Structures are given as C-alpha cells and as structure tokens.
Structure 1
Amino acid sequence: MTKRKSENYQVGYGKPPKERRFKPGQSGNPSGRPKKCLTLIELVAHEVKRKRPIVEDGQRLRIETDRVLVKRLIDLALKGNLRALSLMMTLIQQIREIESAKIERDYDAMSMEEIRADFERLRATTRADLTRAKGIDDTFP
C-alpha cells in the first residue's frame, strides 16, 4: 500500500491520492477541446453575418455583409447596370412568390409528398429564373 499522511483517508473511486490531485488553478485538460472544423455553409453564414465598415451619406457605419450586398446591388440597379437590374427584378419576383406562397399554403394540413412536390416546383422556377438572369444554360446541380 502507499504511505498516507492521514491514516483515516481511504483512496478509491473518485478519491485520488492527495499528492496526485490537480493543484488549485490547474486544469485537467490544459489544451482543451479542439476547435470544430466548419463546413462551407457555416463559413459562408459566418462571413455574411460579419459586420463591415461602409460610408453612407458621409457617415461611417458598420453593418452586416448581407445588408451591404443588398444595398450595393440596389445601388447598381438604380445607376442603370442592366445585369444588376435583371437580378434585382428576379429576386423581387421570387420574394413576392414566396411571401404569397406562405399566405396561401397551410403546410400543417399538407402531406409530406405535397410539400416535397411544392418545394421542387419552387426550386425549378428559381433555377430557371437564375439562369435567365445570368444568361447561362441550366447546369445547376
């Protein structure tokens, strides 16, 4: 047996020898848990929510990236950039369709097959609109 300073202290499960216990302020896992490897979607979502500085009306503002992108797209469309205008009009139409679909459909009353079919229909129209706006053939995955 090991020598103990106190004869009445019993070493056992959950009771390590006093000389082997962690000292106050010492961690049992000094390197900690390794950082999680982010997926591409998580990386994009993180960057889109990151705040960036812009100058608007002579004031320096820090706003989220997604808001900056929308502002710049609208500014380009208003200045006469035909590609930005086409993309913006497509985006507005899709947003209106989604909003009206939310009002019209009661997804709680629909079966899973009906929801899937509805989703695929919206996905197909979105792909077609994007290809028309970009001027490329339909080669999306």
Structure 2
Amino acid sequence: MSKDRDDYEIGYGKPPRSTRFKKGQSGNAKGRPKGSRNFANDLDDVLNTKMTVNENGQPRKVSTQLAALMRLREKALKGETRALDRLLSMADERSTEKDAQNKERHISSDEMDILERFVSVHTVASSEEGQGDGE
C-alpha cells in the first residue's frame, strides 16, 4: 500500500479517493433535460387551452382560464354566496396588486430633480469627451 492509503481513514463522509468525483466531473452529468415538464408548465398549458363556450347563443373560443372565470361570475350573479365571495376576494387581490404597481411607478418631485441633475451632468460630461476626440 502507498503512504496515502495508510494515512487516509475511510468511513462515513470519507469515501475512498478512487471513487470520488474527479475535478470538473459532475455528480449528475446529464441532469434534468431542458424543456422537461413540471407542474407549472402543465398548469399553464391547461389554463391556456382553448375551448368553446356559448355566449349570448353564439359559440366563442376562449381560454380555459377565462371560461372558469366566466363560470364563477355566472354562479356569483345567480346568488351563490361562495362563488361571490371568491370572485370578490380575487378582485380585491387584483386591486391590491394594481395599487402596489402604481406606487412603484410614482416618482416624487425630489426624485425627479435628482434624475434631471444626473442627466444634465452626464450629458455635459459626454459632450466634453466627444469634443476632445475631434482635436
């Protein structure tokens, strides 16, 4: 036996050196194939699948997601309290999301002043650099 094998204790968490991964070698070389399906992909496909619904006596192709929302609306309008509660809670969540998005987009006047000064300083600096190249 060589000196390395005598000094090295093999046991839990200490595999033999010959069975370890070599440098640059992965433990799962093939890995998960690209484009493989998962629950989120399958759910998106199911919700986006087109289906025919009758609206005012006319057939219309809509996504499954829209058809489900239309059915929920119909039940809520017919007086089913659970459907109405669910529809209103979804509307409230959507309203909260829209409010959050609008707040993110709002820039105060102080912030606008800072941005304008930044642009003016950098516009002047870049025009001065451009003039130095022509000389």
User: Scaled by the length of structure 2, what TM-score is found?
Assistant: 0.50
Root-mean-square deviation (CA, aligned residues, Å) is 2.0
Question: Counterpart amino acid of 1:44?
Answer: L
Deviation at 1:54, TM superposition (A): 1.1
CA distance in 2, matches of 1:80, 1:57: 20
- 1:57 maps onto 2:56 in alignment: yes
CA distance in 2, matches of 1:92, 1:36: 34
Deviation digits for residues 80-110 of structure 1 (CA, Å, limit 9, x no counterpart):
0100000011111111111011011259xxx
Deviation digits for residues 1-45 of structure 1 (CA, Å, limit 9, x no counterpart):
xxxxxxxxxxxxxxxxxxxxxxxxxxxxxxxxx995310110010
Question: Counterpart amino acid of 1:95?
Answer: R
Question: Counterpart amino acid of 1:81?
Answer: E
Q: Structure 1 stretches (4+) deviating beyond 2 angstroms? A: 34-37
CA distance in 1, matches of 2:35, 2:98: 36
RCO comparison, higher one (Cα < 8 Å, 6+): 1
CA distance in 2, matches of 1:48, 1:103: 27
Question: In structure 2, what is the equivalent of residue 48 of structure 1?
Answer: 47
Deviation digits for residues 93-135 of structure 1 (CA, Å, limit 9, x no counterpart):
111111011011259xxxxxxxxxxxxxxxxxxxxxxxxxxxx
Question: In structure 2, what is the equivalent of residue 67 of structure 1?
Answer: 66
Question: Counterpart amino acid of 2:75?
Answer: L
* 3-state DSSP of counterpart to 2:77: helix
Aligned-pair identity (%) = 23
Question: Counterpart amino acid of 2:49?
Answer: R
Q: Which runs of 5+ in 1 are unaligned?
A: 1-33, 108-141
User: Scaled by the length of structure 1, what TM-score is found?
Assistant: 0.48
- 1:97 maps onto 2:87 in alignment: no
* 3-state DSSP of counterpart to 1:105: helix
Per the alignment, do residues 36 and 94 of structure 1 end up closer, same or farther by CA in structure 2, a change over 3 Å counting?
closer
Question: Counterpart amino acid of 1:76?
Answer: K
CA distance in 2, matches of 1:47, 1:93: 25
* 3-state DSSP of counterpart to 2:52: strand
Per the alignment, do residues 35 and 59 of structure 1 end up closer, same or farther by CA in structure 2, a change over 3 Å counting?
farther
Question: Counterpart amino acid of 1:55?
Answer: N
Q: Which runs of 5+ in 2 are unaligned?
A: 1-32, 107-135
Question: In structure 2, what is the equivalent of residue 31 of structure 1?
Answer: none
| Bigger fraction of residues in helix | 2
